Amino acid sequence: MGFELPPLNTLRMFEAAGRLLSFRAAADELNVTPSAVSHAIVVLETWLEARLFERGSQGLLLTDAAIGYLPVVRRALVALAEATDRVPGRKARGSLSISVAPTFATTWLLPRLPRFAEVNPEVTITLDTTRTQVNMPRDDVDLVIRMAARRQANGIWFRLLKERLVPLVAPALWRQVNHRSPEDILTNLPRIHITSVRRDWDVYDDIVARSPEQARYDLKFDTVHMALQAASYGLGIALGRRPLIDEDIEAGRLVPLPVPERDADTSYWLVGLPNTFQRPEVGAFRTWIMAELRDRGTRRS
């Protein structure tokens, strides 16, 4: 049985132009010229015997025919791409878009990505470190790496690492206070808080109980990175998250206080949709990142 179909390339260009409502933006995405997109739309309209776009005062508009046709074409192209990705033995190549928590990206993932590139030279990775919630696959993201207390219902969740908390100070500040007891230091030095993670310091309440007067000089920042930067400048004590902070400790940029480490409530997770993990690129990244964590002796549970 044969299939009466327009040229596949015209459907790709129609989907991009219809989604972006711009021939130029579609051309940029597909790495072709705007005239190539325009020509493809003309070919498709001729084949369908129907107009797909109109020019309005605000720019490109979809016709009624295109409004009904576009979602069907998009689903068909997605299904075709997913089926192609799942062909057994297909080599990992192409692009991989990952939304990553900023702290994980800067302190752990970025320094190690060259090793992934060495073994997967044909895979191009795009990292998005914005903190907005990602809706897969609508936001064109393949994988998400996020900090969370537990698995959630959306997608498949693989635990990458469970964090351990340790109080940290700048080396210069440590030299000033190392003659004092850890309890005295935790009680009287300013603590550095992260506004989006409110309960971390509660894990040390069994060691010290601070009064409101002792807490009046505490500092608050909205990111882990800013909190650690503040600690490195000697502004107080920050809670570092091991193993992400291990390299700063080993390099002497921050000094851990001699108190027991405590398990955090949160872990870092690798999240994707069921079909996504069948793609060679995604499978290669998951295998690589798990091996990196295992080889570094990172404790996972």
| Pair 32, 101 in one domain | no
| Pair 122, 236 in one domain | yes
Q: Which domain holds residue 16?
A: 8-85
Domain contains 24: yes
Packed helices 23-30 and 8-20: angle between N→C axes, nearest 10 degrees: 120
Confidence band (pLDDT; 50, 70, 90) for 140?
confident
Sorted by sequence, the CB contacts under 8 Å of residue 290 that are 6+ apart come out as: 158, 160
| Pair 130, 69 in one domain | no
Helix (H), strand (E) counts: the chain:
12, 11
**What does the pLDDT read at residue 301?**
37
pLDDT tens string 280-290: 888 889 889 98
Whole-number Å distance between alpha carbons of 168 and 245: 10
Confidence band (pLDDT; 50, 70, 90) for 89?
low
What's the CATH number where 185 sits? 3.40.190.290
Domain contains 107: yes
pLDDT at 69 over 60: yes
| Pair 101, 80 in one domain | no
Q: Say how many domains are in the chain.
A: 2
Give the residue ranges of DSSP H helices in the chain: 8-20, 23-30, 34-48, 64-85, 102-104, 110-119, 171-177, 182-188, 212-215, 224-232, 246-250, 280-295
What's the CATH number where 58 sits? 1.10.10.10
Are 160 and 285 spatial neighbours (Cβ–Cβ below 8 Å)? no
Where is the domain boundary, 55, 85, 115?
A: 85
**Region 131-136 average pLDDT:** 65
Q: What predicted TM-score, i.e. pTM, was given to this entire model? A: 0.61
C-alpha distances in Å from residue 31, one per residue of 141, 173, 244, 273, 290:
20, 54, 38, 27, 34
Where is the domain boundary, 61, 85, 109?
A: 85
Whole-number Å distance between alpha carbons of 260 and 256: 10
| Pair 283, 147 in one domain | yes
> Does residue 26 sit in helix, strand or coil?
helix
Domain contains 2: no
Are 168 and 239 spatial neighbours (Cβ–Cβ below 8 Å)? yes
**Region 183-189 average pLDDT:** 90
Are 293 and 204 spatial neighbours (Cβ–Cβ below 8 Å)? no
**What does the pLDDT read at residue 295?**
66
Sign of the Cα pseudo-torsion (180, 183, 187, 193, in order) = positive
Confidence band (pLDDT; 50, 70, 90) for 222?
confident
pLDDT tens string 17-44: 999 899 988 888 787 888 999 999 999 9
